[in-house]
A and B are shown apart, each in its own frame.
Chain A
């Protein structure tokens, strides 16, 4: 009986392909939207995780002021000194490397090309902590740091914009008012949601202080990057660093911290939980469109019960039972919604593959969401196919045959 109903339903669908297409369009769009949203959302979450781990694993960042992001307050708060960095290295257990960082924004000029770039002054450990590797040339050394040599290492974006196809190694660029020799090119890390990490010029900290900013005062370090040894408890490290810095900054017991320590792993978790939230939200909106698609099926099926009254009358007259008519309409609705689900999944995968490249997030095929979306679309068919099917089955054969 079920096989027969399927055969009859398929013949009815074939009889009016255009109507069938319009019926399932809503489900196709709904399923495609849900899967696209979730897949891209998960890709974004993964991308954020990748970017944060590319900043350096086990990375702790010490900054003046409180908070991170737009609400941070660092105005009027004293910065750090290189001695602070030294103290962290020597007194906190589990520290693998420490790099004091000073940053400033300056115009850089090579021949006729000028642009403003973030200039970072630090120590050679900065590269190791930040997982930077050298592409061409060399990194600066402790010797360069001690002498305050006029050398710099540039990122891929800077190379592309200032030098184009030229070889940058050995060239002299103007940074602010000084001239600086390019000694190395960093391997590209790629575009990230947190800004272009490759848009950077790194110079020895002493060079930045003496030649570029002229700010030679001790408190010129605006950030200290700390990498922890593997398998260390970052919470314990954070509290050790905090008590050390409170002591070094002479904070009394009733004063708040005027600096903060960030753990990149925590930041990663915060960011990925907010992108997950975003994904859920978008999926919910897309889910509503799937529901609307289901109502579309019900609408067209209801209309088609009226339109097909005579057909139902013929079937009843030649001996179809009410339950067979019910099954036929139900199977039609379920078949349509399942086909819609499959087509929707196909479209979603194509769309995700394409969009993932456009917005540069990894394309991650998630079997679970595809299965869920398909089951949901089938359920939509059962749910919204039932009312029209029951209406069809309840028709009186004489009335139905008389229907014009």
Chain B
């Protein structure tokens, strides 16, 4: 006898989330009770000085790690009670990741890199190729499919990484300093690409950055300091 909620649950809901590394005297509390709610379709920049706990927060949000206490509901699923394999499956089906260092497989073509998440999903080959081509086209690299990362520029590599992250049509895209290794004009290209994916496809984007001009692309900025949320502001509507 359960009553259906009148509104769907928020995409992400954190309640009194803490994370402690180590034990006893050496214990270090990286997060000290985070409350955060993110709705589907938002574009959030997470900012903060190094050591503020923003990386820990991102790892928890990305289901790569588990909280020490508190609860994390992703689309209503209690992530803190999932085991490593279940979190893997959640990442596989709902999340996409892009990294500062691109993290593409070396000596592997752009197409095969983009195909990788589909391979783990068990998508048949013809469909896999079609989806990967489509993703590469949508990030503006329709002619670089056979090239390996070593044959691509930094901006192109990050585009391949974005294509890999969105090829599975995830509900959330996690971007960890996506422009940290790129020059300013390439940064602009990549940020416009992320903005477009957010606007056109409705993909929720969570991005860690420490550059204000990069954060300005986001609709909302969350500032983290000493394991607390210092501020949570709407940039634009």
Contacts and interface: CB of A to CB of B under 8 A. Distances in A.
A340 to B, nearest CB: 22
Residue from B59, B93, B104, B116 having most chain A Cβ neighbours under 10 A: B116
A316 B96 CA distance: 12
Question: Which applies to chain A's interface (DSSP): helix, strand, loop or mixed?
Answer: helix
Contacts of B120: 4, 315, 318-320, 324
Nearest to B65: A398
A401 B103 contact: yes
Interface in B77-126: 84-85, 88-89, 91-93, 95-97, 99, 103-108, 112, 116-117, 119-122
Interface in B115-166: 116-117, 119-122, 164
Contacts of A15: 105-108
B88 A319 contact: yes
B85 A401 contact: no
Interface string A6-35: 011001000110000000000000000000
A17 to B, nearest CB: 10
Contacts of A313: 103
Contacts, number: 64
Nearest to A394: B84
A311 B101 CA distance: 12
Nearest to B164: A318
A8 B119 contact: yes
Nearest to B59: A398
B93 A319 contact: yes
B199 interface: no
B91 A318 contact: yes
A11 B109 CA distance: 11
Given A314-B116, A318-B117, 17 more contacts: A11-B108, A11-B112, A15-B106, A15-B108, A310-B103, A314-B103, A317-B62, A319-B92, A319-B117, A319-B120, A320-B88, A320-B92, A321-B84, A321-B85, A322-B85, A398-B59, A401-B103
Interface of A: 1, 4, 7-8, 11, 15-16, 310-311, 313-324, 397-398, 401
26 contacts: A4-B122, A15-B106, A15-B108, A310-B103, A311-B106, A314-B105, A315-B116, A315-B120, A316-B88, A317-B62, A317-B64, A317-B91, A317-B103, A318-B91, A318-B92, A318-B96, A318-B120, A319-B95, A319-B121, A320-B88, A320-B120, A322-B88, A323-B85, A397-B64, A398-B59, A398-B64
